[in-house]
Each structure stands twice: as structure tokens, then as C-alpha cells.
Amino acid sequence: MRTSNLWRTTLLSGLALGLAASALAAPAAATTITPNTPLVINEVIQNNDQIDDAIELFNTGSDPIDLSGWALSDDKNTMTIADGTVIDAGQYLAITTDDDTLPDKFGLGKNDEANIHTPDGVLVDHFAWEGHQPTSYGRCPDGTGDFGVTVEATPGAANACTASSVGNVGSGTALMSSRLLRLAGLDVATENGLPSVSSVTMKPLGLNDGIIALTEGSVDVLFWSGGVPTAAIAQANEITQLNMLDLSGFLPELRQEYGIVYDSVLVPANSYAGIDATRTIGVPNLLLCRTDLAESIVEHTVNLLVEHADELVPHSSAGVQFLSPEMLINTADIPLHPGVVKAYRKLHG
């Protein structure tokens, strides 16, 4: 049974959120150029305890490339690639730079760069970075994406990029995920309406599609909005054992930047089978009305929401907190309408 890390964002009353620790490495402050051949630098390994320093090349074209006489360099040194070295179409080639058997070996430093030149000295691709990484810097996706911090070094193979399901475009889930990723130390930008992180591939999937991707392994983490327990998550947990991690440490920064609507919420033990009690972050989903709205209308609305929650909330998102009195009246500093107070008194005393 495969174990997946579960990221959860909360946009309904009393929801919870978990974040995979493997995605918390900050991306490099890096620069690249647009290559003018199908050959690109795809991965750089410069501080891995298990693997020698290396520059990985990737042939994005449809024909083999003879690298005889080509050169690799950093900010001070140059290494000539051996005659007869060929990289086939669609293939990866990792070249170790600090091999003791090489006469022109060099190590890749903390603040350094990697370059690939043609035999006549034309710069084909370039990547510069600041800071050591215990895994590697790699393009995500391979060949065309920006450089970011990978999950693990994979010399000579496709890069190990983190993928996450962040909710549909424009949804509250997508907004919350981008805020949390930024607070986790990842630089979040916006591209075509989607949050984008250089070391994380962001997939705009709704809950059901996200769960399918999570159980199939095409995403590593999932943000979602829903009750506790969310039926669809509970069902997925029966197939693939999921993990939730405590994110309450982000609460002070969330409140400082976005207001006190964010709160610490405890997901009880075994709300999802085998998952311990997890303290996480919740935010209420508020229904606002005018202060002069008739109390009778407000009272009927409250009764409708409470008594028919199972019909109004999708089964995949429903959870026990929809009927929890403390969650129903958790509106931070926003006062309750008198009609709401009257309705809740009748329902819960």
C-alpha cells in the first residue's frame, strides 16, 4: 500500500490542512537563458552526499547530437566533452565534473553556474544558482520548465518534481494553497490565473479528479476543501494510506497578513482511519447579509442550512462540523444577525 502526503486547505467551517514536508525547500535564486539548440542543461547536482557533482544534459530534439569537442563550464573552469560522446533524441546524459580521473575536473560551488558550449565556443545553455541543495536543481517539467529544487537527484533520468493538486482555477482552494506555499518558503507567482512554483508543478484539479491523481501517483500532494471527515478523502484513504501534517505553525503569519479569520482546528484521531489527531488551520465560510434583513427570513435561512445540509453540500465534501454549534457561530469579529442568534438559541439553547 503506497503512502501519500496530503495537503489540505480549508474554506468551509472547521476544515483542516496538512502539508508535505518534502516540498518545503526554497527554490533557487537562479537565472537561465533560452537555449538555441534542442540541447539543454536539465539538472545540476552540486551538494549531494551520495552523488558526485554533475551536469545533466537533455536532448529535446528528434535527432542525435554529437557532443565531441563541446565544453561544460562553471564560473571559473572549463571541461571538454570526450570525442565520440553522443546523446540520442529524447535522452538524458549526466556528466560528472569532479571525477578524479579527469584532467580538467572541477567542482560545482554553493554560488556557481553551469554552461554548455559548442566546439566553436557558442553558449547554448546556462544556469546560475545561489545556495547549496542536498538534492539537485532541475527543470520542471524536463527540458522546458524553469529550474527549481527537486525531490531527489536523478542523474541520467527524468527529474523528480513535486506535483500538487491545488483546486480549480479561481477557487478558494487555489488561493489558500498559494498563500501557504509562499509562507512555506516557496516563491509563488501567477501564470494564466494559476499559482506557479518553480519546484512544484501545480495542477488545477477539483477534489474528485485530485483524489484520482493522488491515488494513481500522478500528484504527490492534495489541497482540498471539505468537512471532517470528507467522504471522498475517507474512501481514498482506504485505498492509499494518507498522511496529514500539522500546519498550525503557519497560523501567526496567516493572521498577520490576511486577518484573524484563520484559526487552529483539531482534526480528531481516526477521522480518517489510521491518521492521528492533527492540529491544522481552518477558516469559516461566511454567509453575509444586510443588517436590516427581516429576522424571519434569516431564521428560515439558518434552519434550511442546518436541517438540509446533507442536500445542500456535495456528499464528497460533507463533514460533521456542518452541524457543529461552535462552528456555526464562529464568525471572528463579524457580528451575528439578531435573527441568527434567535435561530441558534432555538436549535442549541
- The domain ranges of the chain are 3-25+162-282, 31-132, 295-348
Highest mean pLDDT: which range of 172-176, 303-307, 326-330: 303-307
**Which of these, 43, 223, 55, 22, lies nearest to 148 by C-alpha position?**
43
Of 115-124, 192-201, 218-227, minimum mean pLDDT range:
192-201
Under the banding of pLDDT at 50, 70 and 90, the label for residue 182 is confident
Give the model's pLDDT for residue 267. 86
Answer whether residue 14 shows pLDDT above 60.
Answer: no
Under the banding of pLDDT at 50, 70 and 90, the label for residue 190 is very low
More confident position, 346 or 88: 88
Q: How far apart are CA 50 and CA 155, in angstroms?
A: 12
Share of the chain above pLDDT 90, in %: 25
Instruction: Find the mean pLDDT for residues 19-36.
Output: 38
Highest mean pLDDT: which range of 160-174, 226-240, 262-276: 262-276
The fourth-level CATH superfamily of domain 3-25+162-282 is: Periplasmic binding protein-like II (3.40.190.10)
Give the model's pLDDT for residue 6. 41
Same fold, 3-25+162-282 and 31-132: no
Could you tell me which residues come within 8 angstroms of residue 67 by beta carbon, excluding any fewer than 6 positions away? 57, 81, 85, 86, 87, 93
Answer whether residue 224 shows pLDDT above 60.
Answer: yes
Answer whether residue 79 shows pLDDT above 80.
Answer: yes
Give the model's pLDDT for residue 188. 47
Highest mean pLDDT: which range of 101-115, 252-266, 281-295, 321-335: 101-115
Answer whether residue 64 shows pLDDT above 50.
Answer: yes
**Which of these, 119, 31, 136, lies nearest to 75 by C-alpha position?**
31
Answer whether residue 19 shows pLDDT above 60.
Answer: no
Of 1-10, 38-47, 183-192, 307-316, minimum mean pLDDT range:
1-10
Q: Where are the beta strands (DSSP E) in 156-240?
A: 162-165, 188-191, 194-197, 200-203, 221-222
What are the cell numbers at 264? 487552529
Answer whether residue 167 shows pLDDT above 80.
Answer: no
Give the model's pLDDT for residue 5. 39
Give the model's pLDDT for residue 29. 39
Give the model's pLDDT for residue 217. 75
Q: What angle do CA 294, 300, 302 make, to 5 degrees?
A: 105
Answer whether residue 192 shows pLDDT above 70.
Answer: no
Arithmetic mean of pLDDT over the chain: 78
The architecture in CATH of the region 31-132 reads Sandwich (2.60)
Q: What does the CA dihedral 254, 257, 260, 266 come to, rounded to 10 degrees?
A: 0
Phi and psi for 123 in degrees, rounded to 5? -75, 120
Of 178-182, 229-233, 323-327, minimum mean pLDDT range:
323-327
Give the model's pLDDT for residue 24. 26
Under the banding of pLDDT at 50, 70 and 90, the label for residue 186 is low
End-to-end CA distance of the chain: give it in Å, rounded. 46
Q: Is the alpha carbon torsion for 253, 254, 257, 260 positive or negative?
A: negative
**Which of these, 107, 112, 56, 64, lies nearest to 84 by C-alpha position?**
64
Under the banding of pLDDT at 50, 70 and 90, the label for residue 293 is very high
Answer whether residue 11 shows pLDDT above 60.
Answer: no
Count, in order, helices (H) and strands (E) of the chain.
Answer: 8, 21
**Which of these, 66, 83, 72, lies nearest to 46 by C-alpha position?**
72
Share of the chain above pLDDT 70, in %: 79
